Amino acid sequence: MANNFIETASFIHEYIKKDLKKTSELVTRFPPEPNGYLHIGHAKSICLNFGLAKIYDGKCNLRLDDTNPAKENREYIDSIINDIKWLGFDYGERLFFASDYFEKFYEYAIYLIKKSKAYVCDLTPEEIKKFRGNLNESGRESPYRNRIIKENLVLFEKMRNGEFEDSSRTLRAKIDMDSPNINMRDPVIYRIARICHHNSKNKWCIYPMYDFAHPLEDAIEKVTHSICTMEFEDHKPLYNWVIENCDFKKKPRQIEFAKLSLTQTIMGKRYLKELVDNKEVDGWDDPRLPTISGIRRRGYTPDSIKKFCESIGISKADNNVDISFLEHCIRDDLKLKSKIYMAILNPLKIIIENYREDNFEYLDIENHSATENMGKRKVLFSKEIYIERSDFLEDAPKKFYRLTKNQEVRLKGAYFIKFLEAIKDENGNILELVCEYDPKTKSGSNFSNKKAKGTIQWVSCKEFIKAEIREYDYLLLKNGKKNPETLKIKKNCVLEFSTKNILIDERVQFMRHGFFIKDCKYCNDDNIVFNKIVGLKSSYK
Ligand code: ATP
Ligand code: MG
C-alpha cells in the first residue's frame, strides 16, 4: 500500500490499534447490496477493507447484503464477484449472503419482543411518518406501542405466516420517540412485502430493514470494524442499540469515511441504472461509465484503479476528485508497458513520386522509444502511404511542425518527405498529396544531418488493417449538464499491419494518439474495434 493510504486513514488505524489490544484479530467486510454493478467508489471501499485486513493480518469478508429483494438479482451478484476478483482481491472462503441469516434475524426480532424492546405496529406507512415528527418536533408514540409481549409474539408470527396484507403492519424497535435523532424514534425493523427473493424465493413475506439487519450481519460474522460511509453516522446509535439489545458479547465498531465522488461523471447505482434502463448507454459495462466493468472494458488495469484509490486517501472530509486524476493513473500505468504502434484515424494518401512503384522495404521500428527491451518490429514502407489528415496544412502557421508547403517532416522510423503538390476535387478538398522522399535520411543511417522539426506516423497503403476507433467523452460537462456527445465512432481508421497481433486484452499506444484496447464486446476478426482508453496529454497537474 502507498504511504498516503496509511497516513490519511490514521483515524481508522488509531481505532484499530486500540481495539486490537483487546481482541485478537481484525475482521472487516465489504458489504455491497446487489442492486447494481460496482463503481469506482466501491473500489475505494474494497481497497480500504481488504487493505486493512492485509496490513493487520486479519480477514475481510465479502458479504452480499441482499435483504431487499425488490431491487436485487443474480446478475448483479455475479458481476460483483467477478469485479472483485478482477481487481485482484481474495476473499477466500469468506463469501457470505445476508439472506442466509433470515432465520437468525427473525429470532433476534423475537428476542427483542420478549425483552419488550420491539412491538407490532398497525399504523400505515403514512401514519408512521406523521407520528415520527421532525428535527424541530419530537415524535408521538404509536397507540400500539404498549401491546403486551404475548400479543406481539402472536402478531409477529402471523406477519411471518402471511396472514396480513403487505405494508399493513410493521415490527418496530421500542426506543425513544423524543430522541433528537430521528433514526431512534421507534424505527421499523420488519415490513411485510410479498416479493420473491433470489435466494430464499417465496419463503418469506416479511423482510428486515437495513438498519436492523446490517448490525446483526456484522455481529453474526464477528466483524470487528464495520467501515461505512458518512451518511451512516446518524445511524450509528441505532446500529449500537441493535448490537447492545441483542446481547452480543463482541461488539463491532462502526467507523465512517467520506464517499468518493468524481467530477464530470455520474456515480451512484440508482443514477447509473437509469442510464442503463433508458438505453442511454450500452449496458452496465459501457466504457463511458465509472462502473468497474465499464472502466475495465475501457481498458483500465486493476493496478491503475488500486493506485488511484490509494492515492486519493481516506478521510472524513468530502472526497471529490477530478476525473483527470483517474486518467493520470492509467496513463502512468501504461506509459512504459504498452507497445507503440502507428495508426491513422483520418487518412490522407501520399504518393511518393521518386519512390519506385515496384519497390518496398521492411523497416525496423522500435516497439517503444523509452524501453529498449520491448524490441523492434518490421513495418512495410512503400510508394503510397497514409498520414493523418491533420498533419498537413498547405498554409500553416509558424509553429506548425508537421508537413506544409515549405517544411519537410520526418516519417517515424523511415525518411524525410517534402511536399510537392496537392490533388484536389472540384470543391478544393484535398484528395491526396504528391511528395518526394529523401533517400539519404533513412532512419538509423548516419547520412542525415538534417534536423526534423516534427515526426509523424504513417501507414503503408500496401499493407494495413482497417479498424473502427471509439473515442469517449465525459458524461457530464463542466457545468454539470449532461454531455450530448459522449461517443465518437471513427470507422475508416488504418493501422499498421503488425497490429493484427494485438491480443484482445492487450493495451497499446497509438503514436501521438493515446492508449487503446480492443473492445471486448464488438471487436472480432471481421470488424476490428478499438476503444480509446485515454489520450497522451494530461490536464492533471
Ligand atoms: P450507491 O450510492 O452507488 O448506490 P451504496 O452505498 O448504496 O452505493 P452499497 O452496495 O451499499 O452501495 O455499498 C457497498 C459499500 O461500498 C458500502 O460500505 C458503501 O459505504 C461503499 N461505497 C459505496 N459508494 C461509495 C463511494 N462512492 N465511495 C466509497 N465507498 C462507497
Ligand atoms: Mg445502497
**418-436 tens-digit pLDDT:** 999 999 999 999 999 999 9
Rounded to whole angstroms, how far apart are CA atoms 380 and 360? Answer: 7
263 domain residue, yes or no: no
What's 266-291 look like in SS3?
CCCHHHHHHHHHCCCCCCCCCCCCCE
Distance from residue 206's CA to the centre of ligand 2 (Å): 20
Whether 117 and 109 have beta carbons less than 8 Å apart is answered as no
Distance 41 CA to ligand 1 centre (A): 7
CA of 33 to the centre of ligand 2 (A): 6
Domain co-membership, 220 together with 361? no
In a domain, 499, yes or no: no
CATH of the domain at 456: 2.40.240.10
Which neighbouring-strand residues pair with 376? 366
- Cross-strand bridge partners of residue 206: 192
Based on the fold, state whether residues 345 and 244 are members of the same structural domain.
no
Q: Is 33 in the pocket of ligand 1 (CB under 6 A)?
A: yes
What residues are paired with 341 via a beta bridge? Answer: 510
Nearest residue (by CA) to ligand 1, atom 3, is: 268
Give me 264's grid cell.
Answer: 464530470
> Which amino acid would we find at residue 213?
A
Q: What is the span of the domain harbouring residue 345? A: 340-460
* Chain centroid offset of residue 392 CA: 39
**Does residue 252 sit in the same domain as residue 352?**
no
Last residue of a domain, one of 437, 460, 483: 460
C-alpha cell belonging to residue 515: 492508449
Query: Does 234 fall in a domain?
Result: yes
- Number of domains within the chain: 2
Q: Is the dihedral of CA 40, 41, 46, 48 positive or negative?
A: positive
13 occurs within a structural domain:
yes
Q: Which of 410, 440, 460 is the endpoint of a domain?
A: 460
In this model, does residue 400 exceed pLDDT 50? Answer: yes
Nearest residue to 232 (alpha-carbon basis) of 256, 252, 208:
256
Ligand 1 proximity of 313 Cβ (cutoff 6 Å): no
User: Mean pLDDT in the chain?
Assistant: 96
3-state SS, 109-156, equals HHHHHHCCCEEEECCCHHHHHHHHCECCECCCCCCCCCCCHHHHHHHH
Atom 22 of ligand 1, residue of closest alpha carbon: 42
Over range 301-320, report the average pLDDT: 95
**415 and 391 Cβ atoms separated by less than 8 Å:** no
Is the same domain home to 6 and 118? yes
Residue 162 lies in a domain: yes
Query: Quick one: 243 and 362 in the same domain?
Result: no
Report the percentage of the chain scoring pLDDT > 70.
98
> What is the whole-number distance in angstroms between the Cα of residue 332 and the centre of ligand 1?
27
Residues 127 and 220 in one domain: yes
Predicted pLDDT of residue 5 = 65
Last residue of a domain, one of 407, 442, 460: 460
Query: Torsion angle of alpha carbons 540, 346, 475, 502, nearest 10°?
Result: -80
Residue 283: CB within 6 Å of ligand 1?
A: no
pLDDT of residue 434: 98
Confidence at residue 372, expressed as pLDDT on a 0 to 100 scale = 82
Residue range 51-74: mean pLDDT, rounded: 96
Can you tell me the distance from the alpha carbon of 258 to that of 511, in angstroms, rounded to the nearest whole number?
39
Q: Which helix (H) or strand (E) holds 52?
A: helix 40-55
Instruction: Please tell me the predicted confidence (pLDDT) of residue 1.
Output: 47
pLDDT at 450 over 80: no
Position 453 scores a pLDDT of 87
**Confidence band for 446, pLDDT divided at 50, 70 and 90:** confident
Regarding whether 235 and 380 lie in a shared domain, the answer is no
Is a pLDDT exceeding 60 seen at residue 304? yes
Domain assignment present for residue 203? The answer is yes
202 and 63 in a common domain: yes
The DSSP-derived string for 224-272 is: SEEEEEGGGGGGHHHHHHHHHHTT-SS-PEEEEEPPEEETTS--SHHHH
Per-residue pLDDT, 108? 98
Is 405 domain-assigned? yes
Q: What pLDDT is attached to residue 397?
A: 93
pLDDT digits (tens, 9 = 90+) for 124-171: 999 999 999 999 999 999 999 999 999 999 999 999 999 999 999 999
What average pLDDT does this structure show over 278-285? Answer: 98
Mark whether 19 and 157 lie in a shared domain.
yes
At 55 the pLDDT is 94
Q: Are residues 229 and 84 in the same domain?
A: yes
Are 15 and 114 part of one and the same domain? yes
In a domain, 322, yes or no: no
Mean pLDDT of 56-63: 97
Residue 32 CA: nearest ligand 1 atom is 10
Residue 336, class by beta-carbon neighbours within 10 Å (0-12 exposed, 13-18 middle, 19+ buried)? exposed
Torsion from C-alpha of 174, 180, 183, 187, nearest 10 degrees: 20
Q: Residue 8 above 90 pLDDT?
A: no
**CA of 64 relative to ligand 2 center, distance in Å:** 12
CB of 225 within 6 A of ligand 1: the answer is: no
Residue 107's pLDDT band (cuts 50, 70, 90): very high
- Cα 413 from Cα 415, distance rounded (Å): 7
b/e per residue 110-148 (b: at least 16 CB within 10 A): bebbeeebbbbbebeeeebeebbbeeeeebeebebeebe
Minimum-distance ligand 1 atom for the alpha carbon of 39: 3
| Ligand 1 mean position, distance from CA 5 (Å) | 19
Q: What pLDDT was estimated at residue 538?
A: 73
